[in-house]
Amino acid sequence: MSNFLSIINKDKPVLIDFFAEWCGPCKMMSPILKEVKDIIGDKASIIKIDVDKNQELAAQLQVRGVPTLILYKNGKQLWRQSGVVQKIDLIKLIESHV
């Protein structure tokens, strides 16, 4: 958990993707997130967290379904959504918090 807190306590936005290997929609999100990262570059970080390997963290953050995307900045949750999110929506969201 302390490692997670150090990740989200950054001055730039951090998008966390809670996923599972067995999840079909999560597999759809992977190339979308790669494209988003290619476009936004160093303006934000994108971190993938496997809920099966991090069950305690997922439970603490009440991640009930995957994929769940959460945007943090300076340790504060700014946005959260479950399900597949389109590239343009993620870019607009991140750009609005840079």
pLDDT per residue over 24-75, tens digit each?
999 999 999 999 999 999 999 999 999 999 999 999 999 999 999 999 999 9
- Contact by Cβ (8 Å): 97, 71: yes
Is the distance from CB of 81 to CB of 95 less than 8 angstroms?
no
Angle at CA 63, nearest 5°, toward 60 and 67? 145
Question: Which domains are delineated in the chain?
Answer: 2-95 (3.40.30.10)
Whether the per-residue pLDDT at 77 is higher than 80: the answer is yes
- Known catalytic residues are 23, 26
Q: How far apart are CA 26 and CA 4, in angstroms?
A: 21
Render 49-71 in DSSP notation, one character per residue. Answer: EETTT-HHHHHHTT--SSSEEEE
Give percent above pLDDT 70 in the chain: 99
